[in-house]
Amino acid sequence: EGISIMEDTRKPRGHAADDDMAPEHYQAERLDGSKHTSSIPNYQRGGGKLKVSARVITAIGERDFTVVGQTARTLLALNEARMKGCTALEVSTWALRFAAYCHVLIHDHDLNIITMREEHSGGWHGRHVLLDHVTITSVTGTVEKVL
């Protein structure tokens, strides 16, 4: 009668352990034992060629971190926008999951990003603002306009 949830600890197949990029395809096993191949990028591992290294300065000190793929592009956009912030609409040409990329920056890289609710005629949208002082130390790969 109840639902049992088990954590899936398997790693995606088809990539080297030291590879910073997500595989183009990975396989998953369904509950019935059948195989499923997906081309959805593994966002926890990056998923793109763009690589951004940065330094964040907080009240407790400074630290370096690196992000890749759309998460890296999101960091560049937030850093460029400064206190104005960004909405998903402003980056809609490339960031279909802008809030998710911000979530990764918040939870995986401990950045202080706030989301302000902005009302409009059709409802509301979120404006994401990076509060930390972030210095971009290197950008590897190609990136088109972020804002």
Nearest to 66 by CA among 142, 138, 1: 138
Residue 18 sits at φ, ψ, to 5 deg, of -95, 10
Q: Which domain holds residue 71?
A: 51-140
* Structural domains of the chain, count: 1
Asked if the structure places residue 22 within a domain, the reply is no
Asked if the structure places residue 75 within a domain, the reply is yes
Asked if the structure places residue 42 within a domain, the reply is no
The residue count of the chain comes to 147
pLDDT at 27: 46
What single DSSP character describes residue 37? E
What's the token pair of residue 90?
């402003």
pLDDT tens track for 2-53: 444 444 444 444 433 334 433 334 444 455 555 544 333 333 343 348 999 9
pLDDT tens track for 60-72: 899 999 999 999 9
Give the type of residue at 109. H
Asked if the structure places residue 102 within a domain, the reply is yes
pLDDT at 135: 97
What is the band of 147 on the pLDDT scale with cuts at 50, 70, 90? confident
